[in-house]
Structure 1
Amino acid sequence: MRHLRGNLTTLVATVLVLVVVGVVAGFVWSAVAPTTQYVLTDVGPQPADLEGQSLIAADGWFAVIGAVCGLVCGAGAYFLTRTRPISAVLGVAGGGLLASYVASLVGSSAKGTIQASAAGGLTTSTSLGLTAHGVLFAWPVVATGVFWILEFVLTYRLRGQA
């Protein structure tokens, strides 16, 4: 029972720490990613510049920030929770996905103000949003990959010394 409690504590603590990091990552994403200009029409918001790359750039910045967070969180989880590797890797996988989702929610709600009126409608700089939802997986995939690479490399080295 004590072993199970320790594993659950490691899992829950890892997930909670990653969610807090996800909030910070959302604010960072909102600060560095470009906003997209939209024109509000009768059919809804339409991009003001149809050839603009800001939507793709926002997804790219989200992927980069998620990958960096995954790298740091995977290495941190390995070095802080060596005695419970399974619960730690489950924590970085599930917590990384949840943190990535939280980052997208925080980042998408941190920007967005009406800037000017135009003849074709009201021009606005909208909140960030993800158009390629696969970038949500950058964080947990990198985190678990880094965790297992460290586990295999360092454990193999320790076995070779024995």
Structure 2
Amino acid sequence: MPSLDIELDPAWPATTDWAALADRTALAAASVTPELANPRLSASLLFASDADVHALNREWRGKDKPTNVLSFPMLARDELLALPPEGPPELLGDLALALETCQREAAEKGISLEHHAAHLIIHGLLHLAGYDHETSTEDARAMELLEIKALAQLGIADPYDDHDEA
């Protein structure tokens, strides 16, 4: 699994060990996506505020609003797939989660912030690995099924609630 370099905005609730949640989540993602299991990989994960994610989204994506998770891949998918397990560390990319957006979405879905954050970390890691749900319906379904399988390992229900298989 990618080793995670985690930065935590103090506004994230101290009642949860976010680093431990992120590590468990990355392990689950790596178990369903073998390319993420490469021991050379690392990623940065920022548990941020909406304001911080809004600024990143505006600067790097030209979108003037916050979003739940941002992913900034550092390796192309073909580079990731060709990466041998031996060698120096490789940065997979950066992820940022927006607290207030995550809290609002979790409340709307009737789930815990922890479960929603776990889903978004998996979603972001899959983006870093080159998966993209915006390219086609088939790609979206494939990505969702990987998310569902990884979340099931964490005891988290299907967030899409519309699939017959997982």
TM bucket normalised to smaller? under 0.3
More strand by share: 2
Q: Which of the pair has the greater relative contact order for Cα pairs under 8 Å at 6+ separation?
A: 1
> TM-score, normalised on structure 2?
0.27
- With normalisation by structure 1, the TM-score equals 0.27
